[in-house]
Structure 1
Amino acid sequence: MEDWIFLGGKNAIFSIIVFGSIINEGYVNTEKSPILKCVYNNHEGACNYGVTIGLIAFLACCIFLVVDLYFQQISSVKDRKRAVLVDLGFSGFWSFMWFVAFCFLANQWQRTPQSKGAKQAGDAARAAIAFSFFSIISWVALTIKALQRYRLGTDMSLFATDQFPTDPNAGYPGYPTGSGVESTETYQSPPFAETLNTSPKGYQVPAY
């Protein structure tokens, strides 16, 4: 779980940098028009895509972090398996989405003409591209971690945890036989039964 918290925290930070850079400095005006336009070659789709991918990635990191913290408290084996599969599928898919974002933003930035606005927002534009690339690596690492967890679960070592009674109750299934049968044999005769005989063998009561 510590690995997921570390990687998930990094992904959340990377996503904040990506969509924060685009929202704050990704829209500039040109010398010909005061209307703000996307710094990436005036392509509104590039800015919208970067912001959308970053926001969804941040929300997903928060959700999966909460699920991972409470994973050991999930009692159902099916629910545990479903959570791991969702984590695996989403992490792999979002690795691809970040790859598309990196290629899209980098391509549009190369086509951006030199202007005063582009120079002013250049650092933010390059930061969004760089952290899109870092996000690819980080989400791929999360995908690998999720795959390892799923493989651990195939032998029930992960999904079957906490499916059995806790230690105070674990001893009850261990009795080999029922207590009722044993009780009849245990109390066949009261203790010290031999001392209660009226007369021992070989002793005659004297007659007066």
Structure 2
Amino acid sequence: MDGFQAYGAGKAGGAFDPLTFIRQPQTVVRILCWLFSVVIFGCVANEGYVNRPEEEAEFCIFNRNQSACNYAVAMGTLCFLCSSAFLALDVYFPQISGVKDRKKAVMADIGASAMWALLWFVGFCFLANQWQVSREEDNPLREGADAARAAIVFSFFSVFTWAALTLLSLERLKRVSFEEEYNKLFSPPLA
């Protein structure tokens, strides 16, 4: 048993290796989530609003429904921040030596990832529906049509990337739980 090291905790306090970190599946998928949120936010914030000369205010290209554009912009922004925070947690994760703290971090990751997968599914359905029922008279030149379709497509992709993060976090939870059981069985009793 001397050669066995529990997941992560045995290496707590070690040096950070960026190449190993970047090659982890969880890191790759989290970076994709981060990138998709930037694309969605950028598409809707940049080309999601159209103004017509005869009207004063801009309107959302998704069936003139401001809620659709607001939802996409808010989700893109919040997902960007959440992805950034969990990416930072992934960097810091090997430094956490307490198994209970590691377990809390993984449980938070599971909850957040599952929640974002659900919210992106709702967002995809909402944006696709609003785009489908948009009238051509509202936007005869189809300004921002490519951006709207890109936002819808990347919303769809986001569902799967966040679901994949949920599954990867569940695998991580199994490893942390194994580590906890291992520590209970093989740690020396306190005198």
Same fold per superposition (TM over 0.5) = yes
Question: Residue deviations 1:4-47, cap 9 Å, x none?
Answer: 11001111110001011000000001353131111101101000
Residues 80 and 159 in structure 1, CA contact (< 8 A), matched pair in contact too:
no
Partner in structure 2 of residue 146 of structure 1: 169
Q: Distance in 2 between matches of 1:114 and 1:20?
A: 23
Q: Distance in 2 between matches of 1:118 and 1:130?
A: 21
Residues 50 and 59 in structure 2, CA contact (< 8 A), matched pair in contact too:
yes
1:36 to 35, 52, 58: 58
Residues 4 and 145 in structure 1, CA contact (< 8 A), matched pair in contact too:
yes
Which TM-score applies when normalising by structure 2?
A: 0.79
2:33 to 11, 14, 23: 11
> What residue ranges of structure 2 are gaps of 5+ in the alignment?
1-20
Computing the radius of gyration over CA atoms, which structure comes out larger, 1 or 2? 1
Is 1:130 aligned with 2:153?
yes
The percent identity for this pair of structures is 43
Displacement, 1:157?
Answer: 6.2
Q: Distance in 1 between matches of 2:51 and 2:89?
A: 43
Is 1:88 aligned with 2:115?
no
Q: Distance in 2 between matches of 1:66 and 1:159?
A: 27
Task: State the secondary structure of the residue aligned to 2:142.
Answer: helix
Question: Residue deviations 1:115-159, cap 9 Å, x none?
Answer: 446601100000000000000011110000001111122221699
Q: Distance in 2 between matches of 1:101 and 1:140?
A: 15
Q: How has the CA–CA distance of structure 1 residues 121 and 159 changed in structure 2, closer, same or farther, with 3 Å as cutoff? A: farther
Is 1:58 aligned with 2:80?
yes
> What residue ranges of structure 1 are gaps of 5+ in the alignment?
165-172, 174-208
Partner in structure 2 of residue 121 of structure 1: 144
- Give the ranges of 4+ consecutive aligned residues of structure 1 lying more than 6 Å apart after TM superposition: none
Letter in 2 for 1:109: W
Letter in 2 for 1:120: E
Q: Distance in 2 between matches of 1:158 and 1:31?
A: 68
Q: How has the CA–CA distance of structure 1 residues 159 and 29 changed in structure 2, closer, same or farther, with 3 Å as cutoff? A: farther
Tell me: higher relative CO, structure 1 or 2? Use CA pairs within 8 A at least 6 residues apart.
2
Structure with greater proportional helix content: 2
Tell me the number of residue pairs that the alignment of Structure 1 and Structure 2 aligns: 162
Partner in structure 2 of residue 205 of structure 1: none
Residues 99 and 180 in structure 2, CA contact (< 8 A), matched pair in contact too:
no
Partner in structure 1 of residue 92 of structure 2: 70
Which TM-score applies when normalising by structure 1?
A: 0.73
Partner in structure 2 of residue 170 of structure 1: none
Q: How has the CA–CA distance of structure 1 residues 31 and 110 changed in structure 2, closer, same or farther, with 3 Å as cutoff? A: farther
